Amino acid sequence: MKRSFTTLTEATLITAVVQSGYGEIITDALLEVGIQGSTIHAAMGVGIRERLGALGVAVDAEREVVTVMVSSDEVDRIFERIFLAAKLDVPGMGFMYATPLLQAATYVPPSILSKYVG
Amino acid sequence: MAKKNTIRFGDYVQAMAVDTQRVPFQELMPEPLFDRHGREHPQPVPKMKLGGGDVVKVLQPYLSTRFIDQARAVVPLALYLALFQYIVLKTPVIDASIVAGGLFAVMVGLMMFMEGLKLGLMPFGEVIGNTLPRKLPLPGVLFIAFLLGIGVTFAEPAIGALQVAGSLVDPEQAPYLFTLLNDRSGTTVLLVGLGVGLAAVLGTVRFLRGWSLKPLIFMSLTPTLVLSIIALNNPDLTTIVGLAWDCGAVTTGPVTVPLVLALGIGVASAAGKGADSSLSGFGIVTLASVFPILGVLCLSFYTAYTVPTEEIIARAAEIKLAAQMAASQPAWFEVTPWTEITLGVRAIVPLVIFLAIILFVVLREKMKNAFITNYGIVLAVVGMCIFNIGLTYGLAKLGDQSGGLIAGAFTSIDAITESPLYSASVGIGIAGLFAWVLGFGSTLAEPALNALGMTVQNLTNGAFKKSMLMGAVAFGVAVGIMLGVLKLIFDFHIMYILIPGYSLGLILTLFSTEEFVNVGWDSAGVTTGPVTVPLVLAMGLGFGNALGSVEGFGILSAASICPIVAVLTLGLYVQFKVKREERRLAKELAQEGELA
């Protein structure tokens, strides 16, 4: 039997490093527009407290890293959505970036697969 | 293969969003410095300069989340008391603006105190817990755990409520109760602290040796119950018993539990025993709520045999005179807010000094992030002072008032002219229901209970649901507070609730598994937080005064035993259900085997 393997292309990974507690706010904002499959990692951040001086006490050193894979077509829209949901325009809140993915793979529903297998 | 007749959203946005600015990341990086040999020169982190608007933006989420946490516990309770008073008892809140200000102070104070605890005191606890066992032999560690137990007791915010409550006791009727809460209050707290210290030591040893909690419960409760019964039959001491049992509930608050646990878990994990059992955190709370009872009972016996009643009454008159003198010309430290501030400083600063001595002198460790830690300590002290002010003017005042007025539902009191408002049976029913709802609501609002529920759910693989545990504990506390109120109405001794309650608890303990024994007995200590304790204490005393009974203590202790019984019973039921399910599955498997 011939082995068949499907890879997904045109995928982009968005990573947002935010203050502890905001991870779920982001994933909720994503779920609202039907984007699932985000991951929240717990992390510790270093540096922002030193930069902010006395105000640094208001910044939680515990961070959450949210990663979510989205289609390259939709990156800008979702990037903006996360930026607003996590209030990243506030100093010390965190940062985010998008990286293109070479290839990705997961379960692909047969209905979609049949359009491409031909 | 993109979809037909579409353009990429990204391209669309690029085309439409004309005001997108592109800034090279280089702009955010510091300029590297090189010395003349071409090596990179160290430079400090550049400070960020923020405008006023940005400062507000940074502080706003920080302050609001923490404030809302406290408001969620305080506001519904206060509203409930005020509305109940207004609608059912037809009396508006007296000094409403002062009470509201006091409650606001409670919220602000608790917010600052909890943040300070997290940033300033907990790091000490963790560092000490992790390094102490490696640098000192076991007896040394245990000795420090013992001292820590005493220190945290003084720092517990709810302990101040005892002293406030003490000023409401009548020295003529309950002389020994009066002296233990007024001129000897320091000794009382010290004895409570000794109890907590002893519990910390025993709890730590238990972690290390993996002892079962059951024999410890039996061994600590039996003498406590016996002593209580002896005191019960002693006319001088019978009033003390309620206070003694309440002390147990007061000690296990937001300072004691995490700090003592951090040390105990640190010791256990250093010995390689911490990770194997998810139960390692339990047990200390239970012991820390039983030993102080024993301590206070012993102190009361000692006082009763050494100090005659007349001396106390004379002393009480002296205190009263002094208070009158002070009222006409008070020293600067005897006036609000200075009294509260001295109390707050006295509670936290010795603990901090003690922790600092251990850390810097005994362990020779350095504190990371000294600025944040110092900030946390300052915050804890300031928060404690504000909380104390709020305690006097908010929680104690409101609780005392509601407690005093609720009596008007079924008997005639001076404060309500048309009292009794309702017939005796309806009025007593209203008072009981009031107490029940108060207990149920305040317990569900307690954040520590939520955490305990999560742990239990994980521990039992979902057989014991979080909501089930929270419901059981809240139901238990509600019934306990109701029983406590009924005790005051019908004027029977609190031991008539506690003896059958604890006996039932002990019997259930015999049959329960180790997990449920740990969870069940700990649930009692967890539920009595810094908002519930002062409110319920003051309510009980106010209620007791209105009814003319000698002392209003004991409600908290009734609220401690009932959840234990509730959780243990529910635990037995869950165990039974799981076993039945297992049997059913085994049967089905056997049948399938036969079919095959």
Report pLDDT for B325: 66
Inter-chain residue contact A58 with B62, CB threshold 8 Å: yes
- Residues of chain A with Cβ-Cβ distance to B14 below 8 Å are 76
Inter-chain residue contact A74 with B9, CB threshold 8 Å: yes
Closest CB from A21, A58, A116 relative to B58: A58
Closest CB from B10, B61, B369 relative to A76: B10
CB B182 within 8 A of CB B174: no
B55, B57, B59, B62: CA torsion to nearest 10: -160
Burial class (CB in 10 A: 0-12, 13-18, 19+), B459: middle
Q: Which of B425, B470, B424 is nearest to B443 (CA)?
A: B470
CB B109 within 8 A of CB B337: no
Residues 326-385 of B with CB under 8 A from A: 369, 371-372, 375
For residues B492 and B293, what is the distance between their CA atoms, to the nearest angstrom? Answer: 20
In which band, very low, low, confident or very high, does the pLDDT at B130 lie, cut at 50, 70 and 90? confident
Tokens of B140: 């040394």
- Residues of chain B with Cβ-Cβ distance to A21 below 8 Å are 65
Cis peptide before B420 (omega within 30 of 0): yes
The length of chain A is 118
Under CATH, which number does the domain A11-116 receive? 3.30.70.120
**Residue B415 pLDDT more than 70?**
no
**Residue B383 pLDDT more than 70?**
yes
Identify from A22, A52, A62, A95 which residue to disrupt to test chain B contact, counting B C-beta atoms within 10 A and taking the largest count.
Answer: A52
In which band, very low, low, confident or very high, does the pLDDT at A15 lie, cut at 50, 70 and 90? very high
Report pLDDT for B17: 60
- The per-residue DSSP string of B477-516 comes to HHHHHHHHHHHHHHT--THHHHHHHHHHHHHHHHHS-HHH
CB contact set of B379 (below 8 Å; sequence gap of 6+): B112, B113, B115, B116, B119, B120
Instruction: Locate all alpha helices (DSSP H) within B210-337, ordered by sequence.
Output: 213-232, 240-251, 256-270, 284-306, 309-328
**Residue B274 pLDDT more than 60?**
no
Give percent above pLDDT 90 in chain B. Answer: 1
Number of Cβ within a 10 Å radius of residue B44? 7
Q: Worst-scoring range by mean pLDDT, B381-395, B396-410, B455-469?
A: B455-469
Inter-chain residue contact B119 with A56, CB threshold 8 Å: no
Residue that the structure tokens 């012991």 belong to: B287
**Residue B276 pLDDT more than 60?**
no
In which band, very low, low, confident or very high, does the pLDDT at B334 lie, cut at 50, 70 and 90? low
- The ranges assigned to domains in chain A are 11-116
Identify from B6, B7, B11, B13 which residue to disrupt to test chain A contact, counting A C-beta atoms within 10 A and taking the largest count.
Answer: B13
Average pLDDT over every residue of B162-175: 73
In which band, very low, low, confident or very high, does the pLDDT at A70 lie, cut at 50, 70 and 90? very high
pTM as predicted: 0.74
**Residue B259 pLDDT more than 50?**
yes
Report pLDDT for B280: 56
B416, B419, B422, B428: CA torsion to nearest 10: 80
Closest CB from B9, B45, B50 relative to A91: B50
**Residue B2 pLDDT more than 60?**
no
Looking at mean pLDDT, say which of A102-116, B4-18, B43-57, B322-336 comes out highest. A102-116
The length of chain B is 596
